Structure 1
Amino acid sequence: MDDLDTIRFGGGCHWCTEAVFMALKGVVKVEQGFIAPLENMGNFSEAVIVHYSPEIIDLKDLVAIHLDTHRSTNNHSMRNKYRSAIYYFKKNDKPVLLKIMSELQQDFNAPLITDILSFGTFKSSEEQFQNYYFSDIDKPFCKTHIAPKIKLLKEKYVQHVSTRVT
């Protein structure tokens, strides 16, 4: 198997974020739960850990997809629960992520509010919520909130969409 890299994303609901990344080629595993940054280990928000093959999908594409599939320019009232963030593990990842964010900013009309934070700790969601979308895509929440994100993937990132998503 290819060597895998790992990136962690927080944005909208982790059910939505999990589905987005599970729908991509090159993503081997998505862990859904709550992440707290190293700077504030008690401040958890919904997030995912994405294990991917950089030979199939690169980090810049993952970041672009993340920014496009949640409100990455909107500092709304639920930001404590749904922190817009990219969490890095290795210190030398931060400048890489800052450069990617700077390059992607041109694709947005408003400033990106997504934080780049050092990863602190992770708590997994309850098993009943894992694989939320793909376990029953006809649930009302899935149709209302997740299906539009999957549609966006099929339209804007079709080259990265897995055959799992038809």
Structure 2
Amino acid sequence: MPESLPTIVLGGGCFWCTEAVYVKVRGVTDVESGYSNGQVERPSYEDVCTGRTGHAEVVKLTYDPAQVSLRQLLEIFFVVHDPTQRDRQGHDVGTQYRSGIYYTTEEQRRVADDMIRQMSQDKLFGRPIVTEVRPLANYWPAEEYHQDFFEKNPHQGYCLAVAAPKVAKFRRTFSELVKA
């Protein structure tokens, strides 16, 4: 295994839901919920929820490209959230829930831009894709109680209503990528 594995940061609405999916993906070695691309240093969850910090709720993925490609990670991303909703996912509304790909290399930017361009040309979603593609900036890990939230709280109402269906959709759509 390479000494240093790549990371990419994705914002697909509530980080509990996004994290719940990616911890199940073969080749993803670490998933951390956090906040990125805002203006405030060390924001708290309460700060981010105001919508005034500019941060998005995100997950930072560390992955082994020998087991899962960036393209596959992004295909999952576009299936398990709605990239056509600006500043919201379902009932979660605010700039902190925006759809975003926050890259750490130019190759990641190119792959993301190419995929969005192709999906837009194919009119895959029937509406314009609003996912922002930006360099990762001002990333901060979320508080400890947010880490592995779905795994620790599978029967919590939000997890049952929102996260569990996303995990099920991932399992159905990408069965070959589910961790053994």
Instruction: Mark yes or no: TM-score above 0.5.
Output: yes
Which residue of the partner structure matches residue 60 of structure 2?
Answer: 49
Contact persistence 2:71–2:111 (CA under 8 A): no
Deviates more, 1:98-107 or 1:64-73: 98-107
Deviations 1:92-123 (A, max 9, x none): 43223211222334332222110101111111
Deviations 1:47-94 (A, max 9, x none): 011001111111111111111111211125624111210001224432
Which residue of the partner structure matches residue 155 of structure 1?
Answer: 172
Contact persistence 1:64–1:104 (CA under 8 A): no
Which residue of the partner structure matches residue 69 of structure 2?
Answer: 58
* SS in structure 2 at match of 1:81: helix
Deviates more, 1:140-149 or 1:104-113: 104-113
Which residue of the partner structure matches residue 19 of structure 1?
Answer: 20
Displacement of 1:140: 1.7
Gaps of 5+ in 2: 41-52
Deviations 1:3-58 (A, max 9, x none): 52211101210111111111110000011010116xx6752110011001111111
* SS in structure 1 at match of 2:16: helix
* SS in structure 2 at match of 1:73: coil
* SS in structure 2 at match of 1:64: helix
Identity %: 29
Amino acid at match of 1:100: M
Q: Note the 1:11-160 alignment, pairs <5 A.
A: 11-36=12-37, 43-76=54-87, 78-105=93-120, 106=122, 107-160=124-177
Amino acid at match of 1:31: E
Amino acid at match of 1:118: P
Cα-Cα RMSD: 1.8
Displacement of 1:151: 0.8
Inter-CA distance 104–4: structure 2 relative to 1 (3 Å threshold)? farther
Contact persistence 2:87–2:95 (CA under 8 A): no
Amino acid at match of 1:96: V
Gaps of 5+ in 1: none
Return the alpha-carbon distance in structure 2 between the equivalents of residues 101 and 58 of structure 1: 16
